[in-house]
Amino acid sequence: MYKLAVDENNEEIIHETKKNISILVTKVKENEIKCFLSNENDTLDSYLEFHAGAGGTESQDWADMLRRMYMKWATRRGYKFEIISEHKGDEAGIKSSIIKISGDYIHGLLKSESGIHRLVRISPFDSGSRRHTSFASVWVYPVISENIDIEILEKDLRVDTYRSSGAGGQHVNTTDSAVRITHLPTKIVVQCQNERSQHKNKETCMNMLRARLYDFEMKKKEKENKDLENSKSEIGWGHQIRSYVLHPYKMVKDNRTSYESSNPEKILDGDIDNFLESSLYKLNA
How far is it, in rounded angstroms, from Cα 150 to Cα 174?
Answer: 34
pLDDT 10s digits, 23-80? 999 899 888 888 889 888 899 999 999 999 988 899 999 999 999 999 999 999 999 9
Residue 189 falls within a domain, yes or no? yes
Residue 226 falls within a domain, yes or no? no
DSSP code of 186? Answer: T
- 205 with 76, same domain? no
Strand partners, 181: 159, 190
pTM for the full predicted model: 0.77
pLDDT 10s digits, 186-211? 999 999 998 888 999 999 999 999 99
Cβ atoms of 137 and 50 closer than 8 Å: yes
Owning domain of residue 124:
46-144+231-283
For residue 107, what pLDDT is reported?
95
How far is it, in rounded angstroms, from Cα 65 to Cα 246?
Answer: 13
User: Domain end: 198, 221, 244, which one?
Assistant: 221
- 188 with 267, same domain? no
Strand partners, 130: none
> Tens-of-pLDDT digits for all 285 residues of the chain?
999 999 999 999 999 999 999 999 989 988 888 888 988 889 999 999 999 998 889 999 999 999 999 999 999 999 999 999 999 998 999 999 999 999 999 999 999 999 999 999 999 988 888 899 999 999 999 998 766 778 899 999 999 998 876 544 444 445 788 999 999 999 999 999 988 889 999 999 999 999 999 888 887 766 544 545 555 555 656 679 999 999 999 999 999 999 999 999 999 999 999 999 999 988 776
- 23 with 159, same domain? no
What is the enclosing helix (H) or strand (E) of 285? none
CATH number of the CATH domain containing 100:
3.30.70.1660
Cβ atoms of 189 and 212 closer than 8 Å: no
Total number of domains constituting the chain: 3
How far is it, in rounded angstroms, from Cα 26 to Cα 19?
Answer: 11
Strand partners, 190: 181
